[in-house]
Amino acid sequence: MTLSELRAQLRLPVIAAPMFLISGPDLVIAACKAGIIGSFPTANARTEQVLEEWLTRIEAELAEARSQGLHPAPYAVNLIVQGAGSPRFLADLALIERFKPAVVITSVGQPGPVVERVHAYGGLVFHDVATLRHATKAAEQGVDGLILLTAGAGGHTGSANPFAFVPQVRRQFDGAILLAGCIGDGRGILAAQTLGADFAYMGTRFAATRESMADPAYHELLVSQQMADVVITDRLSGMTATYLRGSIARVGLDPDNLPPTAGFLKPTIPEHIKAWRDVWSGGHGVGTIDDIPPVAELVDRLAAEYRAAGGKPQ
């Protein structure tokens, strides 16, 4: 598939970004049926058998939608490449080769070996980067798209300003640019395109939907917390990420006085508390979230806002 073929299958240039413990088949299927790319990290499926079940279900439900005359968008699978070589990584990659998702999103590590295998079946690879140096390295390895993680993004956030990052990547890369960080409405999607990006990559906003796997208390925090409640720290997982203050307090930790790490990737919080599972992520865009709508309703809203701002949904 080419990038323009991919874009032509979408109602809006949007990916509902993969989120650890949050995105599963319900969110993916709802997003694709609404006309945007749905995605999930393979790690959300506890075992490779569960991953196979999820992929089978996604394929079947999208095929059924097509048989009813609908035009669902393609889906994407997110593979963490840091563990390349582990039995689980190899099993996940083999399933990807069997199910052939249109897009594979690689994060943390070198995308090169995955690029080769995904291109062999005609898929596209988009890779997460937070610096210009990483963008250059990933481009050299033949990725089809670069996901630019910018300041305040949900999850492992970036620190670059999008006004600086997008045009500088554009000068050296003619593949797809996906802008990630705090995009929460249709105006933001159009703004990303105006800056030079091809797609908006939206996480936190889609965590706050009915189909996400977020705990009800997490959903409540996504609605009630504001930008000032986003804590950016490496003290919870070892890697710098954005967390909701209320979720840190909820497990009995002091958001303003977290214990320092004992070195790279070594948090010293009590062992029974796990980042992502017990302490929840959300980016600066959380301040614009007021509700937990079904995905279809959210995408309708995004399309209406995009059109009102001057964009042309398909």
Ligand X SMILES: Cc1cc2nc3c(=O)[nH]c(=O)nc-3n(C[C@H](O)[C@H](O)[C@H](O)COP(=O)(O)O)c2cc1C
Residue numbers at the binding site for ligand X (CB under 6 A):
17-20, 22, 41, 78, 107, 128, 149, 153-155, 180-183, 201-204, 207, 281-283, 285
Residue closer to ligand X by CB (options 65, 255) is 255
Residue closer to ligand X by CB (options 124, 202) is 202
Provide, rounded to whole angstroms, the least separation between the CB of residue 174 and ligand X: 22
Residue closer to ligand X by CB (options 22, 124) is 22
Provide, rounded to whole angstroms, the least separation between the CB of residue 289 and ligand X: 10
Provide, rounded to whole angstroms, the least separation between the CB of residue 189 and ligand X: 11
Residue closer to ligand X by CB (options 5, 203) is 203
Residue closer to ligand X by CB (options 2, 82) is 82
Residue nearest ligand X by beta-carbon distance: 203
Provide, rounded to whole angstroms, the least separation between the CB of residue 43 and ligand X: 6
Provide, rounded to whole angstroms, the least separation between the CB of residue 18 and ligand X: 5
44, 90, 184, 194, 295 from 190: Cα distances, Å: 30, 38, 11, 6, 19
Residue closer to ligand X by CB (options 24, 203) is 203
* Residue 34 identity (one-letter amino acid): A
Provide, rounded to whole angstroms, the least separation between the CB of residue 293 and ligand X: 16
17, 90, 116, 170 from 20: Cα distances, Å: 10, 19, 25, 29
Buried b (16+ CB within 10 A) or exposed e, 90-129: ebbbebbeebebbbbbbbebebbebbeebeeeebbbbbbb
